[in-house]
Amino acid sequence: MMSPVEPVDSVLPSIDIVSSVKISDDDAGTYSSTSLRRVELENRHLASVKELSALAPNFYQPDYGSRMTSSMYVRGFGSRIDQPVMGMNIDGVPVMNKNSYDFELFDIDRVQVMRGAQGMLFGRNTSGGAINLYTMSPLDFQGKRLSLEYGTANSVRLKASHYAKTSDTFGWSVGVMYNHCDGYFKNHELGTNCDGGDNVALRLRTQWLPTENWSIDNTFSAGYVNEGGWAYGHYNPETGELAPVAYNDECSYKRFNVSDGLVVKRYFEHLTLSSTTGYQYVDDRMELDNDFLPLDYFSMGQYQREHSLTQEFVVKAEELGAFDLLGGLFGFFKHNRMSAPVHFKQYGIDNLILKNANEEYYYHLVGDRELSFREDNFVIEDDFVIPAFGVAAFVQGGFSFGGLDVKAGLRVDYEYSSMSYDSRATVHYSTYKDLRDSNELNSVFKGSRAVDALELLPSLSVSYGGDWGNVYASARKGFKAGGFNTQLFSDILQQKMMGELVGNEQSVDASSTAYHPEENWTYELGTHLSPLASGKLDISATLFYIDCRNQQLTVFPQGMGTGRMMSNAGRSFSTGAELAVRYLLGDFTFDAGFGYTHAQFLEYNRGDVDLAGKVLPYAPRETYSANIAYRIPVPHSFANIFVLNVGWNGVGRIYWNEENTLSQPFYGLLSASLVWEKGHWGASLWGKNLLNEKYNTFYFRSIGNDFFAQGKPLHLGVSLRVNL
C-alpha cells in the first residue's frame, strides 16, 4: 500500500544509495528478468518468494513442507537438497545458506528474479539465476506502517515498522513481524495438525550520507522460526491412492538466524567504488519422523550452527567515452558444525538390520542361532565439521556505439571445502535364540575429506536498441558448488555394522560422499519492447538453450535404504521460451507471463538403468500467469484507492522421478484480492486457491515406500493497515 505521507523535499546528493552497483537499469536490457515492487507485492498478498512461482516465467519454488526446504527450479534445473540453483541477495549481500531463503517478505521495496546463468557477476550457486531483494529505505520513505491480518487456519500476521530521517543525510528504520498459523494438514496418527508454527523477524536499517560523495548503508536482521511441517501421505502405486498424513513421531523445524550487511560507496564523477561486508549466523534444528509411517522405524535430527562472512569490493567506471568498466574481488568463509543423529527403533531394528543379518547369515549356521539386540532402540551419531572458503576476481568491459552495446566479462573463482566426520554406534547383541552369549559392538567410521574447484566463468552480451526497446543475444556460464553427502553416513555405518555382525567386515570409505560442481552455459536471444508511444505496453520475450555438465541430482537408494545422496548425473540440456506482457488500459492493468521448458538427459547411466532421453524431474514443463488489476472508480469521499486484483497461475507437467513413471499433471490456482485505502487507513480481503484445487508439491521415497505432499487448500483472509 502506498503511503499517504509524501517524501519530504530534500537537498540529497543525486546518488542512488539503494541500487546495486553491479546491476543497473541499462544492464537489465540484456537479461531475462521479472521485477515486482512493493505495491504489487502487498496488494496481491505475496508473502514469500515461494509465491513468485510462475509469476516469473519458468521459475518454480514449491512448498516442500517447511521453511527449511527452500528448493528452487528454473528452466528445468534445480536441486532438492544442498546447493541451490539460484543465488539470493538482500540489499546486495549474498545469502550463504539456502535454509534461510524462505522468510517473510515484509517491507520489501522490490524483488528482481533474474533467469539464466549469473556466474560472472554473482559467482557460486547462480547457474540458474539470482533473486535480488531490496528493503525499504528510510531516506525514501518516512512514517509508521502497521498491519494486522487474520485468515484461514487461525493464521495471524502482525507487522509494525517506523521510518525516520533525522536530517537530509541520515535515516533509520526498525521493523518487526510476527506470524502464527495452526496449520492446514492433520496428522491422523497423533490427532493434531502437523504444519502449524510461529515466525518472528526484526530488521534495523541505517543510511548515512556523510558527504556528497560517500554513502554508508547498514542492515541488521534477526529471525526465529518454530514450526511443524512435512505433511507427507503414503502413496500406493498399485491403487493410485494417497493416504492421509499419519506418522507417530512429531516433526519440527526451529531456526534462529542473524545477518548484518554493511555497504559503503564512494562516488566520483565517472567512477563508483563500493565495499559490501556481510555476516550471517544460522542455528537450526530439524526433527523428522523419516519413515513417515505409524511404525517405529527410525527418526532423525539435523542440528547445525553455521557462521559465514563475505566481502566484496567493486569498481564501476561509466561514461568513459564509448567504454565502461566493471571489476571486483570477492571472498567468503563458512564454518558449519553439524550433527545428524539417526534414532533406530524396534520395528526398524527388526526389519532393516536383524532380518537381513539373520536371513543372510545366522539362519544358515548350525544350532539355534539367531541375532538379536538387547536394546529396543539405538542411535547412530553423525557429527561433522565443514569449513569452506572461496576467492574470486571478475572484470567486465562494455562498448557502446549508436544503439549497439557490447559487454564481455570473465570471473575466476576458486573454492575449497573440507569435511571431518565422526559416525558411531554402540549395540549389545546375542547370536543364540536362548541368549546364552552377550556381546558389545562399537562401530566407528571417522575421517576427513576435502574438495576444491577452480572455475572460469565468462560472459558475453550484444544488444541493439532505441526508443522502441532492444534486442539482445548473450552467452553466460554458471556453476553450482560441489559438496558432501552428509545424509549418506548413517547408511555407510549400517553397512559397516552389518559386516561386523555377520563376520564379514568390509572396508568402507567416504569416496561416495563427495560430489563435484555442476556447470552450465546459458545462451539467450531476447527482446524488451515498448511499441506504443504512450509507453503503456511492455513486452519481453526470450529463447534460451542451456548445456549442463555434471548435473547434480538427488538419488534415493534402491530397496530398504534410509539415506539419500547427491550425484553428478552426466550431461543434460534445456531449451525453451519465455514471454511477459504488461498493458495499461484506462483503469485496468493486465499482466501475463508464459514459460516453456523442454529439459532432458543426454547422458545418464544410473547403473541399474540408462536414463538418457528422459525428462529432468521436479521442474515444471510450463508455467502460466495472468493478473488483472482494476482500479474501481468510486467517489473520493469513499476511497482514495479501490482496487480489485484477480490472478491465475498454472504449473505442469512435473515428473517426480528420473524414470518419468510418476508425474503431477498441469494445475492452476486462482487468487483474488480487494484493496481499499482512504487517507491513512487501508483494508483488503484476499483469497488463494479459490477453486480448492487438489495437487501435489513433493514426492519422496523412503525405505521402499512412496510419499506425496499436497498443496495448501483454499484459504481466505482479511488485512487491516495504517500508514502514519
pLDDT at 713 > cutoff 90:
yes
Q: From CA 724, how far away is CA 716, in angstroms rounded?
A: 27
DSSP string over 652-672: E-EE-STT--SEEPPEEEEEE
pLDDT of residue 91: 93
pLDDT of residue 700: 84
pLDDT of residue 12: 33
Three-class secondary structure of residue 428 per DSSP: strand
Q: How far is CA 165 from CA 9, 91, 142, 209, in A?
A: 12, 19, 7, 12
Q: From CA 118, how far away is CA 129, in angstroms rounded?
A: 5
pLDDT of residue 552: 85
pLDDT band of residue 567 (cuts 50, 70, 90) is: confident
| Third-level CATH fold of 27-723 | Maltoporin; Chain A (2.40.170)
**pLDDT digit string (tens) for 396-405?**
999 998 889 9
Ranges assigned E (strand) in 49-119:
59-60, 73-74, 77-78, 86-90, 93-94, 108-115
Average of pLDDT values for 547-570? 73
pLDDT at 164 > cutoff 90:
yes
Nearest partner of 459 among 402, 397, 414, judged by Cα:
397
**Mean pLDDT of the residues in the chain:** 90
**pLDDT digit string (tens) for 167-181?**
999 999 999 999 999
Q: From CA 72, how far away is CA 50, in angstroms rounded?
A: 9
**pLDDT digit string (tens) for 118-147?**
999 999 999 999 999 999 999 999 999 999
Radius of gyration for the chain, computed over Cα atoms and rounded to the nearest angstrom: 27
pLDDT band of residue 558 (cuts 50, 70, 90) is: low
Torsion sign, CA atoms 629, 635, 639, 641: positive
Residue-range domain boundaries for the chain: 27-723
pLDDT of residue 417: 95
pLDDT band of residue 4 (cuts 50, 70, 90) is: very low
pLDDT at 692 > cutoff 80:
yes
pLDDT band of residue 26 (cuts 50, 70, 90) is: low
**pLDDT digit string (tens) for 95-108?**
999 888 888 888 99
Who wins on pLDDT, 2 or 651?
Answer: 651
**pLDDT digit string (tens) for 445-504?**
999 999 999 999 999 999 999 989 999 999 999 999 988 888 888 888 888 888 888 877
Q: From CA 372, how far away is CA 352, in angstroms rounded?
A: 13
Average of pLDDT values for 692-718? 91
pLDDT of residue 6: 35
pLDDT at 9 > cutoff 60:
no
Q: From CA 370, how far away is CA 365, in angstroms rounded?
A: 9
- pTM higher than 0.75, yes or no? yes
Residues 133/90, Cβ–Cβ less than 8 Å? yes
pLDDT band of residue 563 (cuts 50, 70, 90) is: low
pLDDT of residue 8: 33
**pLDDT digit string (tens) for 59-107?**
999 988 788 877 899 999 998 878 899 999 999 999 999 888 888 888 9
pLDDT of residue 79: 83
